[in-house]
Amino acid sequence: MPNFGYITDLPYETRNLGLACFAVRDEFLENPNESGLKSDIAQKISACGKVFVQTRIPKELSQLAPIFQRCGFYFVESTLIPQSRLVDNIILKNFTLNRLDFVPSRYSLNRLVVQPIDKQNFDIRNNIEEISKNSFIDDRFHLDPNCPDEIADSRFFYWIQDLYSDSDVIFYDLEYDREIIGFMCRKNTNLILAGFAKKYRNSGLGDFLWLSVMQDMLTRGLSQAHTLISANNTAVLNLYARLGFKFKQPAVTFHYWSHPIC
């Protein structure tokens, strides 16, 4: 059985999910070969037993979806990339002029702090990890019926550990009365991950956190910000819309499991 090289290893997902994980290469999207993809997946199953494979299909290649479905893949989410030129963002300019306008009336501006953390401070890290446990429910693995919640939860724990270890990643905490109630992390212009403590999930402080981080990025000489979001997460989608981001590069994500792990 020939190996077409259409899938590549995903070591971090192999660790996260506890089985051999792979992604479909861009080369397949450029020149699809249904029988070749089936052959490559069959070889991985023969070699590894249980496997997981993922792919993200740009909107302009949506005609490929039936090929993946015939190979056993299924849809899990739609994604978008919000982008903003910070130097031109009117909402950010207004925030810089009057931060109080972005603080709900039930909170006091002088009791709110957003600042980069010391990633070697394990008390702060523990607080952020505790917040993260209940922050992520709209991601593709939590929505995938073939992925148990405990495994979807553990992915974020591992991901945060990896982000702590990356010297280019900056974590910010949001404090109210010196209590950590939220966090965000970014790598250069990429706003990677953010979360709020359960008590503050609907606090209305999301705009304040995002704009504070964006203001810090602008101060450090960064002119743009972007991220990847799931269209399932309407709260975050609406937040980025309020903050003047434009949405680009729509795509859909498909998953394949050789065996259920539920």
The stretch 7-16 carries a mean pLDDT of 92
Closest alpha carbon to 164 in 106, 98, 97, 119: 119
User: What does the mean pLDDT of the chain come to?
Assistant: 93
Structure-block tokens of residue 233: 């997460």
Q: What is the pLDDT of residues 228-251, one digit of tens each?
A: 999 988 989 999 999 999 999 999
Residue 33 phi/psi, 5-degree rounding, is -140, 95
Helix (H, G, I), strand (E, B) or coil at 101: helix
Domains assigned to the chain: 7-72 (no CATH), 81-249 (3.40.630.30)
Q: What angle do CA 108, 109, 111 make, to 5 degrees?
A: 70
The stretch 20-38 carries a mean pLDDT of 95
Residue 75 clears pLDDT 60, i.e. is over it: yes
Q: 57 falls in which pLDDT band (50, 70, 90)?
A: very high
Secondary structure (H, E, C), 191-217 = EEEEEECHHHCCCCCHHHHHHHHHHHH
Phi/psi zone of residue 249: left (φ > 0), alpha (ψ -120 to 50 degrees), beta?
Answer: left
The pLDDT, as a whole number, for residue 261 is 63
The percentage of the chain sitting over the pLDDT mark of 90, rounded to a whole number, equals 79
Q: What is the pLDDT of residues 140-171, one digit of tens each?
A: 998 899 988 888 888 888 888 899 999 999 99
The percentage of the chain sitting over the pLDDT mark of 70, rounded to a whole number, equals 98
Q: What is the pLDDT of residues 106-134, one digit of tens each?
A: 999 999 999 999 999 999 999 998 888 77
Q: What is the pLDDT of residues 199-212, one digit of tens each?
A: 898 899 999 999 99
The pLDDT, as a whole number, for residue 193 is 92
Q: 4 falls in which pLDDT band (50, 70, 90)?
A: confident
Q: 1 falls in which pLDDT band (50, 70, 90)?
A: low
- pTM above 0.85? yes
Q: What is the pLDDT of residues 83-100, one digit of tens each?
A: 999 999 999 999 999 999
